[in-house]
Amino acid sequence: MSSTKSFAKKHSEIHALSRFEFFKGVGQVTGGTLLSITMVASSVLAGGLVGLAISFRDLPDVRQLRTFFPSETSYIYDIKGKLLASIHGEANREVVTLNQISPNLKRAVLASEDSHFYDHHGINPVGIGRAALVNWAAGGVREGGSTITMQLVKNIFLSQKRAVTRKIAEAVLAIRLEQVISKDQILEMYLNQVYWGHNNYGVQTAARTYFNKSAENLTLGESAMMAGLIQAPEEFSPFVSIKLAKQKQKEVLGRMLELNWITQQEYNDALNQEIKLGKIKSFQGSALPYITNTVSQELIKKFGRETLLKGGMQVQTTVDAGFQMMAEETIKKWHKTLEGQGLKNNQIALVAIDPRTHFVKALVGGIDSKTSEFNRATQAHRQPGSSFKPFVYYTAFASGKFTPNTTILDTPVSYRDGNGWYSPRNYDNTFMGAIPIRTALAQSRNVPAVKIGKAVGMNKVIETCRTLGIMSPMEPVSSLPLGAIGVTPLEMASAYATFANYGWQSPPTIIARVTDGSGNVLIDNTPQPQRVLDPWASAAILDVMQTVVKEGTGRGADIGRPVAGKTGTTSSEKDIWFIGTVPQLTTAIWVGRDNNRQLSSHATGGGMVAPIWRDFMQKALKDVPVENFQPPSNFPRPKSN
């Protein structure tokens, strides 16, 4: 268990001052009659409580606090450590140890809430006696007299209802608690448990909210203002009324001065200190919703919603926030451009993956995450059209029976399929005759792709897809080579990334590392690539896909460096794609409509999506050196089987 999250670690900061000096002047009560009455009443009450402690057998077992962990906010960061989102249930909390809290704040809280804390054994007889007299005179509960220990057990175990019976239960539990854990542990628990207003639980989230700093860096003035919030956080919040907040701050500082815990000069300086407020963060949305929502869904699937909301996870994603924002801005710009070209109500999704690690570097699920939470990059299953063909040709190359230069006939053909006949057609309704596979893919000819699929076996093509991580349903029908299935942009980007790495693959991920509230590693996605494809066949399909960009339908994706890619256009022009890769980055882009209607009669992946891809990649690769695809020369060609 990490020391930064352990409630059981002892600290001695408060004891750095001698007991005499730290508590000098504590407990001075004036007025002989009042003191006598109070002491008699408190002695009787204290004695009675000790007896009651034996009989209160149905109260919670305080020993469980030895291993108690409060609910804690989970945080999601980008690859460089920038906070993207905080996720929590009812309690927004980050737990810290006692030595990570400013001594100023510890003294301010003790002065305000329980200046006898280190002298009593759970209850303060003087405080209880005084409260009893006040409540008796008022005819009801007006003053609590609660110690910090009593407040802690109330917050964890008991209801907030003010009643004498509850106060007795608090006292009994407080006595028991002080018998099983130390004072420092109790104070640490309290400071992490108490509510500070605006859905901030614990000193760390409160300090970050009110003053935009860590709890260990709070000044005396800030500490006194925070300590003054405890009794009525929203009422005395400086965000609500800085006047009331300053008034409570003055009261706390005055109490600290009265106890001789600060000097007159420290009092004056703290009171005159300029307070620079932060901002309320508890209810802020995510900076990058497409990223954080995807991460959250993955963590919930693996660990459950409660663990994410209350487990204090620290999540490092694979995404750089600046890079992701650039991708989102690019998509928004091209959405408007396509609207101007007649593609009204279009949606665009983008996934960029580093093929060397299979880390997701950008993931854009639509044109605006604020208007639609639906993530088209991971949740939309759309037909890939001709961008599916590389899987067919790779399967052919891996069989050992075909090479990029193998001749295939682009001529009419019909197949008996199910209850009828299937006759594939090319996009331009023409035929080219005998052509090499390289030309067939570069020009995105449909008939040769179907013929090759039939020659190698559709089940073999499906097997290739499964190896590449495409798990969407598919049947071995004659139209399969033309992308007559539903896939996600994430699946397509990951598959092409495996080609780009010559068959080496790690599971695609947007999460690099996750730890729990105690620092234990829950997920470590350090790449552990495995070779899943034939290296020669992977190099061959990469070589042919470079021809697509140099001479074929993907010329619009030319960025002045080696690119392997493929356009995709469905026969009904409902889905258009371009998926391309350089050695360092693979990007898939899809354009379509949520209602699955035709974009336009002339919408093509090469004409409309390749320019989007080119624009994004030119920005993404601005400072990345040009690399050639360089497969090792000793890849043996697969043997024919």
Domain boundaries, the chain: 32-91+101-272, 325-620
pLDDT(67) > 70: no
Q: What is the pLDDT of residue 195?
A: 84
Three-state SS annotation for 179-210: HHCCHHHHHHHHHHHCEEECCEECHHHHHHHH
| CATH code for the structural domain at 325-620 | 3.40.710.10
CB neighbourhood size of 244 (10 A): 15
Q: Is the pLDDT confidence value at 23 over 90?
A: no
Asked whether the beta carbons of 202 and 230 are under 8 A apart, the reply is no
Look at residue 48 in the predicted model and tell me its pLDDT: 53
pLDDT in tens, 458-484: 999 999 999 999 998 899 999 999 998
- pLDDT tens, residue by residue, 98-119: 999 999 999 999 999 999 999 9
pLDDT greater than 80 at residue 50: no
Residue 16 has pLDDT above 50, yes or no: no
Q: Is pLDDT larger for residue 429 or for residue 69?
A: 429
CB 439, CB 408: distance < 8 Å: no
In the structure encoding, which two tokens stand for residue 610, read together?
A: 């390749």
Helix (H) or strand (E) holding 166: helix 164-180
CA atoms of 223 and 252, how far apart (whole Å): 9
Return the top range by mean pLDDT from 50-59, 144-153, 292-301, 353-362: 353-362
Average pLDDT, the chain: 85
pTM attached to this predicted model: 0.72
Which residues are catalytically annotated?
113, 386
Most confidently modeled range among 136-150, 286-300, 494-508:
494-508
Sorted by sequence, the CB contacts under 8 Å of residue 302 that are 6+ apart come out as: 523
Confidence of residue 57 (pLDDT cuts 50, 70, 90): low
Q: What pLDDT does residue 308 have? A: 85
Query: Could you name the CATH architecture of 32-91+101-272?
Result: Orthogonal Bundle (1.10)
pLDDT recorded at residue 54? 47
Does the pLDDT at position 32 exceed 90? no
Out of 24-33, 230-239, 273-282, 391-400, least confident range: 24-33
